[in-house]
Structure 1
Amino acid sequence: MKSRATHPVSNPSAPENPQDRPQPTTNGTGALLSERDIALLRASVAAVEPYAADLPAHFYATLFHRYPQVRDLFPQRMEIQHDKLVRALLLIVDLVDDPDTLVRFCSELGRDHRKFGTQSEHYAAVGECLLATLEHFAGPAWTADVAAAWTRAYTAAAQAMDGAATADAAERPAVWDARIVHHHRYGPDLAEITVRTDQPYPFTGGQFVSMETPWWPKSWRYYSPANAPRPDGTISFHVRAVPGGPVSNTLVHRAAVGDVLRLGRPLGDMALDPASTRDVVCVAGGTGIAPIRALVEQAVLDGTQRRMDVFVGARSANELHGLEDIQRLSQHHHWLTVRAAVCDADTPGAAPGLPEALTAAGPWREHEAYVSGPGPMIYSAARALYRAGMPIDRIHHDPFVRLDFAL
């Protein structure tokens, strides 16, 4: 499982000049850790995995007891934060044998953490409490060698995060104020919210954004802009009220024109590669249509000549919100084709589900794919594309979903 929203923190002795900061060190072969270190890390994770549900609460209790000054960096309700910690920890362990991806992930995580107020001295505190927590749950499996391996792994991750955050601070703000200028309800639980930022907000169609509301401070949630950059600087988001979700319900049911939200820096690399000449297939479900619409608009802005096939899936015709916007674009651009896949048997003329529609329209072995929506839909669509001939490294998708089907 992947996450970009935990609160790891940095080396208190790191120098002020970003160029002088230590970079993650390797063992001389390009790897951050030795094969033995990697084996020790994974064995220790296996030892604590039965206690995964209890690990976050113990970690944060330890952190807040030893370093009470960091409590204000976190939201009052910690339930979601607990899940994010475990997901980030597992992902870092997954990536320890892929140093380039690990450093890239940690660098982006560090840049994103600027919005929390994370400082360099926080990293050492978090590392200390993380290792104490792992030792507590690992029991006899925690040895001096395991502790040393974790110290090296955490130090590499913290150095990458802290260095990236410092470099980023020299180029852009940590947060942008964003005033709501339009609020449109599509239905009882879905809204399109349009904001205008207080200063230019640099993003590319297909990226996602962390958002904080004034009603739930420090509770950041991720949403994808439903548009490419516009001349007037406005950005639209599709927000669905999740049962029990305080932030999404507030955005849909309480937020109004004039309210001010805060945005963190744009994240993610699900963006069109301007150097690629491959045709593109896009697959969207639910509010996943937002980044797909943004990708199409970005292609228009870039003056693309690549063919784009867009598939929008839903359980019923009533859930095909936003489809008409992409269909209007297809009327003006010959390279764009849009198809709806409605799987509700009670809907007249309903098309097959997304996997079946993708398979029937293939093969896709020469294409690139961009897939966005609920996790199970991303998984099934990506599997259909792979089975239709597309290499898995050309399937771009939400970073919170792992494609682990048998290859």
Structure 2
Amino acid sequence: MKPAKWHPGARNTTDGASRRTSYGPLHRPVRLSPADLLRLGLTGIRTRRMRAALSALGISIGIATIIIVTGIPASSQKALDAELTALGTDRLQAVGHTSGPDDKPASFPPESVGMAERVGPVKAVSPVANTHARVRRSDHQDPIDEAGLTVLAARPNLLGLVNARVRSGRYFSTATERLPTTVLGSVAAARLGFSDLRPGEPAPLVLIGNRWFTVIGILHAVRLSPDLDRCVLVGWETAHRSLGFDLRPTQLFLRVDEAAIDDVRAVLPATINPQSPSQVLISRPSDVLAAKRSTEATFSSLFVGLAGVALLVGGIGVANTMVISVLERRREIGLRRALGAHRGQIRGQFLTESIALSGLGGVAGIVLGVLGTLGYAGYKDWPPVIPVPAVAAGLGGAVVVGIVAGVYPAVRASRLSPTAALASA
């Protein structure tokens, strides 16, 4: 703190035991620069490092918790959004109700595919149909002894609508769907005793109904429609000619404009089966994962509340540290007051120290929170997401906590008179 400047116009007057000094018009009151105020505020932190570290620990835990409980769900949500996109948030599946004592699924009219395609937001439709044929590995096998597999008639565009991938071999083309060829789901291939199709080796055969079919491909597990894993797929036209299929689909897979998916979902039953719309069930395969995301959001809100409690406890710790600091530094306060420091400067010193203490805790909490989020996201193989609003809110919250926690100790320190502070020290 710089001493007051003396001006030639200053004059001293003595009245009894008291002495008064007045200054001319060029006198400037003593003011602390922001750098001096920050230096004074950091003095208490530098001289009492362990206490300052323990006080800032509560703040850092609260801030780190806020970042972690927002960053980890954000990373999870990003991974889940990618998974939902891969599974088809724009996909719908129409299935017929089971009917009759034999529990066979209800079928749709043959023209249902064309009617569904005429709905404006519908981009693509792929039908499948249960042919009710039996599949065997060998003609020496008892026809009754089947592997519990379903033979489905399918179109070449099915793979794109269910996000399926071929594990080995190939899928139907416009040419091969008319030939006696078949593609096996992953479970169906395992039950029939096939692993992978190797190029150059003779293609295996399976007996479907009373006709041999060549296996041209095996699929990976289909996450969007797991039922296809236990199916044996044959071409639509081949199923009609060789298996007596009546061209009535039992399921429709649709890709729809996602913005209009609810409207399409509402009109599809009457569009697909106008005579019996109640027999049409419309499902969205990604609904289960969407519910999972909602559950994660609920838990995130709970953890944010716990982070707020941790931040409150940290603020109380900072306030307690500042009160003790005022009691321990009364001599320093008295000396500064005796040397000319006014109450505002004392308040500013202790308020700056409280803000600096909380700010350091906030910075440490941000570092811990970011590292924790990156580490957990890497462990789960999620794309890491550091929410910038949470980081800014954490640092801002630390500053606010420092201000609130430092007001009372700062005011208390400024009210100490020089004589009382020196006498009690």
Taking structure 1 as the reference length, what is the TM-score of the superposition?
A: 0.21
- Structure whose alpha-carbon radius of gyration is higher: 2
